[in-house]
Amino acid sequence: MTEQRFQQATRASFLQSVPLILIISLSIFTGCAAPVQTYEERAQSLNRQLMCPVCPAETIDQSQADLAVQMRELVLFKLQNGDSESEIKDFFVDRYGASVLAEPPNDGFNVLVWIIPPLALLGGIVLVMIAIRHIGAATKRSLTSIEQEIDPAEMEFYIAEINKELIAFEKSQNKEDSVKHNQAFEKKEPRG
């Protein structure tokens, strides 16, 4: 009898948890769905991709020219009538040429627009590296040639002279420091 009650309680708790599991799973799956863009949002995105033919360096989204306003309205109209973004772009390219696209296409001659800047940057880096190596090699060559020209005995003479100069300099610095110290001390003594 107790086993029967246990099975009934288990079934009841399972049946009570089914709606909760369904609600949680539905909320998870609906939260993961891609957001649906409205016509206006799609039109605004497309407006940022099309250049105004009469305004220098402005997209139709930025421009306030009459032509840009008409183009924005036409984009929205075409989207509402079911045209895809690529069909709308092709329509404007046919009418105004490829210069109406804010981002140049990746084919034909326009590939150079995408390839040349990175290649120029890479070439500049290579040239700088070559120049640095050349300067380093020239410095090593000049130091080696100087060392070869100076006799070791003569080098010792120069090093001894430099050491004498350093000792004399240090002594003069010590004298200057003691003079400054004495002057500071004299200023502190009260005059009577």
- All residues at 6 or more sequence positions from 187 whose CB lies less than 8 Å from its CB, including other chains: none
Structural domain count of the chain: 3
Q: Per the domain annotation, does 32 fall within a domain?
A: no
Does the structure show a pLDDT above 90 at 189?
no
Q: Do residues 50 and 75 both lie within one domain?
A: yes
98 and 47, same structural domain?
Answer: yes
What is the structure's pLDDT at 126? 94
Average pLDDT over residues 136-165: 78
152 has a pLDDT exceeding 70: yes
Are residues 125 and 173 part of one domain? no
Kindly tell me if the per-residue pLDDT of 185 is higher than 60: no
Give the pTM: 0.44
CB 96 within 8 A of CB 50: no
The answer to whether residue 28 is domain-embedded is no
Based on the domain organization, do 145 and 155 belong to the same domain? Answer: no
How far apart are the C-alpha atoms of 124 and 132, rounded to whole Å? 12
The identity of residue 26, as a single letter, is L
**pLDDT (tens digit, 9 = 90+) per residue, 43-96?**
899 999 999 999 888 999 998 999 999 999 999 999 999 999 989 999 999 998
Q: Are 47 and 60 in contact (CB under 8 A)?
A: yes
Average pLDDT, the chain: 79
Q: What percent of the chain has pLDDT over 70?
A: 70
* Residue 179 and residue 157 in one domain: yes
pLDDT band at 27 (very low <50, low <70, confident <90, very high): low
Q: In angstroms, how far is CA 101 from the centroid of its own chain?
A: 24
Confidence label for 30 from pLDDT (cuts 50, 70 and 90): low
For residue 59, what are the domain limits?
Answer: 39-103
In-domain check, residue 184: yes
Q: Which residues of 155-182 are buried (b: 16+ CB within 10 A; e: fewer)?
A: eeeeeeeeeeeeeeeeeeeeeeeeeeee
CATH number of the domain residue 62 falls in: 1.10.8.640
- With respect to residue 22, please indicate whether it lies within any of the assigned structural domains: no
b/e per residue 34-71 (b: at least 16 CB within 10 A):
eeeeeeeebbeebbebbbbbeeeeebbbebeeeebeeb
Does 135 lie in the same domain as 171?
Answer: no
In-domain check, residue 3:
no
Instruction: Give pLDDT, residue 139.
Output: 73
